[in-house]
Amino acid sequence: MVSLTFNCLVFTVYELLNIFGLMKQLLATTLILSISIAGFSQSSFIDFQRTYPRVAQAVRIKEDTLKKQFAAAGLQWPAKQMYVRSFKYDSQLEVWVRNNINEPFKLFKTYKVCAMAGALGPKRMEGDYQVPEGFYYINQFNPKSSYHLSLGLNYPNVSDKILSDSEKPGGGIYIHGSCVTVGCIPIQDPQIEELYVLAANAKNNGQDYIPVHIFPVRFSNPKSMEFFDKATKDDQDIQKFTVRLKEVYDYFEKEKKLPLISISKTGDYIVTN
């Protein structure tokens, strides 16, 4: 607020014009500021993503179908929170959704991972063609990916930086389309379009960190566990590492929510229920 103190009650025409001019300037500035703020508030993450042709096409093609699928599953569109988990050996990627932190997650859809690189076990160095294992989140939306559309993961995370090659741990891990891989998680183009739209809407609704958990196998599948036991019987490091992954899997299977996950100074995951 501007406060004016006057020493005289008599004003010249010139002085009055100056005062009215100042008032007009203040009103004009306020109006411009209001319009600017209103314009800024109308912009959103999903609107920004739509400025890219591939995303605009994905939204146009997929959004109505997704809404119908959500309605058929008794889910509220759009999901305000989502959780993704992938199983390397089982070649599956699950999408779970909910609308607030007090709700349990509900399974929306399972996609087939259409190609696999490397073997069971975590990624530990650049060029090993390994798909990472552990607990990550989506940290990049790439609407101009060489693999149609892609969602970047925060590999290497803190654990990976401690346990992996200190100079070349690798990077550039994505969930993407085109069904080819050298260490990422590939799905078909129509599927990455759906996943991209889902994730963009979740971020648009305030979920800055969409968790993505990558497991070596689906621990509840006896055949998968049999394969895991045979493949890792001589590798105690992988077996020890996988114990923590299974704790998170078991907790989520029971509670349909995520436990608190921290990382020790030695790079080990610490799971708190």
> Which tens digit of pLDDT belongs to each residue from 26-64?
444 444 444 344 444 447 999 999 999 999 999 999 999
Q: 22 and 108: one domain? A: no
156: preceding bond cis by omega (within 30 degrees) = yes
Q: 90 and 150: one domain? A: yes
Q: 38 and 165: one domain? A: no
For CA atoms 253, 251, 248, 76, the dihedral sign is positive
- Say how many domains are in the chain: 2
- φ and ψ at residue 269, rounded to 5 degrees: -75, 140
Domain residue limits at 143:
46-272
Q: 137 and 18: one domain? A: no
Q: 71 and 24: one domain? A: no
Mean pLDDT of the chain: 88
Q: Is residue 95 part of a domain?
A: yes
- Higher per-residue confidence, 16 vs 23: 23
Q: How many whole angstroms separate alpha carbon 258 and alpha carbon 188?
A: 27
Q: 89 and 28: one domain? A: no
Q: Is residue 1 part of a domain?
A: no
Q: Mean pLDDT over residues 108-129, rounded?
A: 94
Q: Is residue 94 part of a domain?
A: yes
Q: Is residue 3 part of a domain?
A: no
Beta-bridged to residue 136, according to DSSP, are 212
Q: 201 and 217: one domain? A: yes
Tokens of 239: 């077996």
Q: Is residue 143 part of a domain?
A: yes
Q: Mean pLDDT over residues 91-110, rounded?
A: 96
Q: 224 and 148: one domain? A: yes
- pLDDT above 70: residue 3: no
Q: Which amino acid is at 178?
A: S
- pLDDT above 50: residue 221: yes
Percent of the chain with pLDDT over 90: 81
Q: 96 and 18: one domain? A: no
What pLDDT sits at residue 43? 75
Q: How many whole angstroms separate alpha carbon 26 and alpha carbon 35?
A: 14
Q: Is residue 83 part of a domain?
A: yes
- pLDDT above 50: residue 185: yes
CA distances from 221 to 39, 83, 89, 112 (A): 52, 21, 11, 16
Q: Which amino acid is at 39?
A: G
Q: 107 and 199: one domain? A: yes
Structure confidence by residue, pLDDT tens digits, 72-83: 999 999 999 999
CB 174 within 8 A of CB 150: yes
75-85 burial, b at 16+ Cβ within 10 Å, e below that, comes to: beebbbbbbbb
What pLDDT sits at residue 25? 52
CATH code of the domain covering residue 70: 2.40.440.10
126-144 burial, b at 16+ Cβ within 10 Å, e below that, comes to: eebebbbbbbbbbeebbbe
Q: Is residue 2 part of a domain?
A: no
Q: 57 and 181: one domain? A: yes
Q: 143 and 104: one domain? A: yes
What pLDDT sits at residue 218? 98
Q: Is residue 115 part of a domain?
A: yes
